Structure 1
């Protein structure tokens, strides 16, 4: 351990070649399960602070440093060392630079930092304007990178998929959910409406993060009406489509169903990841929290989709969630039947009398 501590001291050596070698040799000890991980806490986390400084070093050194930071920032104590505004601005500067080769790795660092509730203070941070965005708010620029930068649309070295996990962790906290469910002045759009379009993206990372974002926001019942408003966010088609398969449905099943859900092609595939499918069904369950929500789901024919999902996907946990959703959907119908029977009791000759 003493040799490793001595090696860590070379992270701030004046010779760049020495800094490079020190960073390379310390990388194996950045894994959180490394028995020697404690070296990063040495001298009040001085090695971590050195890694922060190395992000401004020569490209080869910065590349090694950001890789190390991705690993060590999985530790909560290390994250608190990295949460100062100067470091955040440095990382944001890398991510928003359209020609920087370390943008995606820097997004991975943000994925870890976003696990801290204090991270949501970035909602109040501003940065210089970039050509891809009309806002100086860093969160708006990150959103623009995620939407416009997919498939290397902004930076040929980055696709910004990891930002999905950043946003997902932010929506665990009330302040984060409020941002995604509030129309933004700079583009007059609900941020969440920009994200739901990725529920069928080819990147599993994006789909997983977006499914978590949707579920977290669905915990806020007052926003359900806006989520399901077909003139607003219009969430439901983006939840239904990943759950739908190629099965033929009869006319009664399709009456009231979204146009994009009707007559799906024979090669239509369901979401291949079981975790994502379960998350979508859990979101639908949360949307059943109000009578209005259940009515809307029924009118848009969620039941045939869930029925076919239950029949064609053999996963007990998913099937249990489907059963739970169906029970919530039929609850009001059962109540209405009782009310009708009470209001209009059967004639005596039609009544069935059970005798012990």
Structure 2
């Protein structure tokens, strides 16, 4: 602790350049260690100094200070501490992200992603965004959808996880599903963004969170601009051939896919897409829609893939969970809304443990 206090004496804007650079570089190296980060949280003056140095005139110092904040904000404790010391941080992050000539916009986006990761933090960030009259969320979506937005070679991929984080909140879901701004329909195509796993993951996470809200299921299925089912099934589909009768059932985007069609390669994203489908299976109306649109047929072929050596056990189980619902008749299911079923906590814990054991074997 004493050594930290000595170091921060050199971390002022007007400190000697060489001493300041060494001090910030040293702090940056410490933030890579969890024990050191815990020590820094107990000395919040370090965070105050780093925040001020993120706009230092010397680019290297500003970058190191910013990267240190990125590392510190990765922990929930650090994120809370940083927000306490910088209550205007959310708006500041967005200001730099939206600056087309900011060479450190990606680092600012990483910070905003970190400080919105948990649902509680996401609510705080969403409140700050909504308190502004500048339509900040709409502007962030516009920047994200313009791949060449930043002129300093910043890709802004971490806006994807930010959108996913914010959709944990009811306020966030309402903003993304707004019929006038159509933010969701603008973001869903990034589910197929081959150049960035981070962008794809953000788009899939956003979709999954919105699918948890059963009040929106009917709209998600029927709105032509959103076209959610196609966005879920297309990444799960591979180069398999289907009969003409099966193709006729599929959404238009999935009909007669070529032999070069590639399935989503990341198992975590495939699992999230399957979990989105599982949420959509909540009501009978949507279950009937899924069956009519050939969802089972796509999952039948996905199941074969997940059973192969290239497949994934967690994805296989998620796939079987959805298939198990779709192949049953509604009389067998016996419930219009599956979310109305009251499953005792001890049974839910038992099922979760059984699933974990099956995945590990």
TMscore range, shorter length? 0.7 to 0.9
Structure 1 counterpart of 2:190, from 194, 198, 201: 198
TM-score by length of 1: 0.84
Deviations 1:79-138 (A, max 9, x none): 2233244333322221111011000010000011102131221331437xxxxxxxx211
Deviations 1:134-162 (A, max 9, x none): xx2111111111111x2x34434211110
Structure 2 counterpart of 1:105, from 94, 104, 107: 107
Q: CA deviation at 1:42?
A: 4.5
Corresponding residue number in structure 1 for 2:72: 72
Could you list the runs of 5+ residues in structure 2 that have no partner in the other structure?
Answer: 334-361
Q: Distance in 2 between matches of 1:98 and 1:301?
A: 44
Corresponding residue number in structure 1 for 2:49: 50
TM-score by length of 2: 0.83
Structure 1 counterpart of 2:235, from 222, 237, 242: 242
Q: Distance in 2 between matches of 1:255 and 1:275?
A: 30
Q: CA deviation at 1:2?
A: 2.3
Name the CA shift for 1:275/1:221 in 2 (closer, same or farther; >3 Å).
same
Corresponding residue number in structure 1 for 2:31: 30
Q: Distance in 2 between matches of 1:212 and 1:288?
A: 18
Name the CA shift for 1:88/1:322 in 2 (closer, same or farther; >3 Å).
closer
Residues 1:121 and 2:127 are matched in the alignment:
yes
Corresponding residue number in structure 2 for 1:81: 81
Name the CA shift for 1:28/1:276 in 2 (closer, same or farther; >3 Å).
same
Preserved contact between residue 30 and residue 37 of structure 1 (Cα < 8 Å): yes
Corresponding residue number in structure 1 for 2:314: 317
Max Rg structure: 1
Q: What SS is found at the alignment partner of 2:74?
A: coil
Q: What SS is found at the alignment partner of 2:192?
A: coil
Q: CA deviation at 1:164?
A: 0.9
Deviations 1:326-347 (A, max 9, x none): 22113335559xxxxxxxxxxx
Q: Distance in 1 between matches of 2:273 and 2:255?
A: 19
Preserved contact between residue 284 and residue 330 of structure 2 (Cα < 8 Å): no
Corresponding residue number in structure 2 for 1:173: 169
Comparing 89-98 with 296-305, which one deviates more in the overlay? 89-98
Preserved contact between residue 70 and residue 114 of structure 2 (Cα < 8 Å): yes
Matches within 5 A, 1:1-356: 1-12=1-12, 14-17=14-17, 18-33=19-34, 35-43=35-43, 45-58=44-57, 59-83=59-83, 84-115=86-117, 116=121, 117-126=123-132, 136-148=134-146, 150=147, 152-183=148-179, 188-202=180-194, 203-314=196-307, 315-332=312-329, 335=332
Deviations 1:149-193 (A, max 9, x none): x2x34434211110111111111122222211223xxxx232111
Could you list the runs of 5+ residues in structure 1 that have no partner in the other structure?
Answer: 128-135, 337-356
Q: Distance in 2 between matches of 1:325 and 1:177?
A: 24
Q: CA deviation at 1:13?
A: 5.8
Deviations 1:27-58 (A, max 9, x none): 1111252x333442355x01101111112211
Corresponding residue number in structure 2 for 1:348: none
